[in-house]
C-alpha cells in the first residue's frame, strides 16, 4: 500500500515542524507522497503565509507598497532553509517572485499559490 501524507499550514510553519514531518514520513516506508500547504502560524498572533499573500495581491491591486509584506514572507522561507541547511536557491527564487508580484503580473490565484510552491520546494529537498 502507498500512503499520501498531507501536512497543513501549522505543520510546516517552521524548521522544527519540518523535522517532525521528516520523522513521520520516515517512520512508515509506505508514506511515499507528501503534500504540503503554505507555512501557517508559528505562534499566536502570527499570520499565515496564504493570508499575507492575499494582502500582497490587494496591495498590488490598489497600488500600495507590499515590500514589507514580501520581506516578511521571504524571511519565513529563508529562516527554514537556513536552519535546515538547504541548498535550494530560495533567495533568488523569492526575489524573482517578489519582482513579478510587485509588477502585477500574477493573477491573485497564481500569486497566492506560491506559498505552497515554496514550501514544497523546501520540503522536497529536505526529504530528499
Task: Count the alpha carbons within 13 Å of 25 in the hemisphere toward its beta carbon.
Answer: 21
Q: What percent of the chain has pLDDT over 90?
A: 98
Distance from the Cα of residue 77 to its chain's centroid: 6
- Whats the size of the chain, residue-wise? 128
Query: Rg of the chain's alpha carbons, rounded to an integer?
Result: 15
Reported pTM: 0.94
Residue 51 φ then ψ, to 5°: -65, -40
Residue 48 clears pLDDT 90, i.e. is over it: yes
Which DSSP category does 63 fall into?
Answer: T
Amino acid at each position: 500500500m502507498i500512503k499520501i501524507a498531507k501536512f497543513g499550514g501549522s505543520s510546516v510553519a517552521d524548521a522544527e515542524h519540518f523535522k517532525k514531518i521528516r520523522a513521520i514520513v520516515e517512520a512508515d516506508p509506505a508514506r511515499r507522497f507528501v503534500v504540503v500547504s503554505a507555512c501557517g502560524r508559528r505562534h499566536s498572533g502570527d499570520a499565515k503565509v496564504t493570508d499575507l499573500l492575499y494582502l500582497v495581491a490587494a496591495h498590488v491591486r490598489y497600488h500600495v507598497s507590499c515590500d514589507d509584506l514580501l520581506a516578511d514572507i521571504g524571511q519565513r522561507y529563508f529562516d527554514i532553509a537556513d536552519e535546515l541547511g538547504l541548498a535550494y536557491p530560495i533567495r533568488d527564487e523569492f526575489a524573482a517572485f517578489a519582482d513579478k508580484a510587485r509588477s502585477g503580473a500574477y493573477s491573485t490565484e497564481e500569486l497566492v499559490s506560491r506559498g505552497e510552491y515554496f514550501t514544497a520546494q523546501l520540503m522536497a529537498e529536505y526529504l530528499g
